[in-house]
Amino acid sequence: MTKKLTVPPLSFTHVGLPSRVVFGAGSLSTLNAEIDRLGARRALVLATPFQKAEGERIAAILGDRYAGLFDRAEMHVPIETAREAREVAKRLGADCAVTVGGGSTTGLGKAIALESSLPILAIPTTYAGSEVTTIYGITEAGQKKTGRDPRVLPKTVIYDPELTLGLPVGMSVTSGMNAIAHAVEGLYAQDASPITDMISEDGIRALAAGLPRVVASPRDRAARSDCLYGAWLCGTALGSVGMALHHKLCHVLGGTWNLPHAETHTIVLPQAISYNAQAAARQLERAGRALGNPNVAQALFDLAAGLGAPMALRDIGMKESELDRAAELAVQSPYYNPRPIERGAIRALLDDAFFGRRPK
């Protein structure tokens, strides 16, 4: 028989972030009206080199609202790229930035806004969720600095699932697991509220239902819509509350060994949740409900493995000889986590993640 966990009396502070969200297939057609609504006239479009064609497509839609295209967004926002993009924005007299792409492109827009308060209109094409958070990251001399600042929050987000139809299946899965990670950790955040709890639970549910359908049929429009909807909810959870052990570990692994972002999240998540499972048993009940299995760590592992995701750090470039240092770095500075951070247990967690063991 499962034990009924006691629910403490309600007590919370909730802060909602002011962003305007336009969601739906074909919603890209609202772009010019949304630019006008921002009171902007000259939009600088941002994209990665890989998504240059998407950038050009946005440029064509913008017509005389188009100021220029900067198509060199890259992972982790190097300060040099951010400076260059800021210069280009100034030189072109841009009065807003339109980002089309994943977290790296949104991140570049945020780096510009951090200095200039340039309004951003974000058009996400992955499930990373950065477009609805005040979190920014900039990498200088090999060190990624992150922070929260309301100036970087995109003013408008256009979520058009049509733009995600071509997101490769492997990336869809790991990006979706990255999104789920925001919501699962959001459930046991110190500053969680009944609103963020609902958002997190439904975000997990939408992605857990949508991802298998995307894997089965990548151009299934309804499945893509469910996943992007889930990504919005999970990103909103990330933007509303603080994260804990899982995000800390991924930050350490990604920042120090340059491991790929979404894959690292996918691999670490079941292990981090296993670590916190008892300490946060009541909060994780919602995740168990959304995943259809009360053992959340196992459910997450099975979901990702069933979708063909990489499940072991050793398969994405981590060396076993570095695990001690990773454990050291993860326990160095104090941060909130429902279960105390113990070096030995963290080292064991990393070992499980390294070999991709199913949580017990």
Quickly list DSSP for 99-113: EEESHHHHHHHHHHH
CB of 156 to ligand NAD, least distance (A): 16
For residue 258 the two structure tokens come to 């340059």
Parallel, antiparallel or unpaired: strands 135-140 and 143-148: antiparallel
- Give the shortest CB-348-to-ligand NAD separation in angstroms: 26
Shortest distance (Å) from residue 1 CB to ligand NAD: 39
The residue nearest ligand NAD at its CB is 103
The answer to whether 107 contacts ligand NAD (rule: CB under 6 A) is yes
- HSE-up of residue 181 (Cα within 13 Å, Cβ side): 33
In angstroms, the CA 24 to CA 162 distance is 9
Residues 124 and 102: their CA atoms lie apart, in Å, by: 6
Q: Of the two residues 86 and 261, which places its CB atom closer to ligand NAD in the complex? A: 261
* By CB under 6 A, residue 81 contacts ligand NAD: no
Q: Looking at 25, 38, 41, 50, which residue binds ligand NAD (CB under 6 A)?
A: 50
Q: Shortest distance, CB of residue 126 to ligand NAD, whole angstroms?
A: 3
| Contact residue for ligand NAD among 86, 224, 248, 261 (CB under 6 A) | 261
Distances (CA, A) of 14 to 8, 20, 208: 17, 18, 26
Q: CA-to-CA distance for 279 and 127, rounded, in angstroms? A: 28
Local structure of 157: helix, strand or coil: strand
User: What gap in Å lies between CA 283 and CA 7, rounded to an integer?
Assistant: 9
Residue of the chain from 27, 81, 156, 164 that contacts ligand NAD (CB under 6 A):
164
101 part of the interface to ligand NAD, by CB under 6 A: yes
**Beta pairing, strands 120-124 & 96-101:** parallel
Residue 336 CA, chain-centre distance (Å), reads: 20
> Which of the residues 167 through 206 are near ligand NAD (CB under 6 A)?
167, 175
Under the binding rule (CB under 6 A), the answer on residue 55 touching ligand NAD is: no
Q: What is the DSSP letter of 78?
A: B
Residues 67, 89: Cα–Cα separation, whole Å = 9
CB of 41 to ligand NAD, least distance (A): 27
Q: Does 126 bind ligand NAD (CB under 6 A)?
A: yes
Q: Segment near ligand NAD (CB under 6 A), from 43-51, 225-233, 284-292, 294-302?
A: 43-51
Q: In what order do the strands lie in the sheet with 96-101?
A: 20-23, 156-159, 120-124, 96-101, 43-46, 66-70
DSSP state of 160: -
Binding range to ligand NAD, per CB under 6 A, among 126-134, 184-192, 301-309, 345-353: 126-134
CB 129 → ligand NAD: shortest distance, Å?
5
Comparison of 144 and 357: residue with beta carbon closer to ligand NAD: 144
Matching residue, tokens 């030189």: 91
Does 109 interact with ligand NAD (rule: CB under 6 A)?
no
Taking the alpha carbons at both ends of the chain, their separation in whole angstroms is 19
Count of residues that bind ligand NAD according to CB under 6 A: 27
Exactly one of 128, 267, 280, 313 binds ligand NAD (CB under 6 A); that residue is 128
Q: Which is nearer to ligand NAD, 53 or 222 (by Cβ)?
A: 53
Q: Which is nearer to ligand NAD, 50 or 335 (CB)?
A: 50
Say how far apart CA 100 and CA 51 lie, in whole Å.
Answer: 8
- Interface contacts to ligand NAD, rule CB under 6 A: 48, 50-51, 75-76, 101-105, 107, 125-126, 128-130, 133, 135-137, 164, 166-167, 175, 238, 261-262
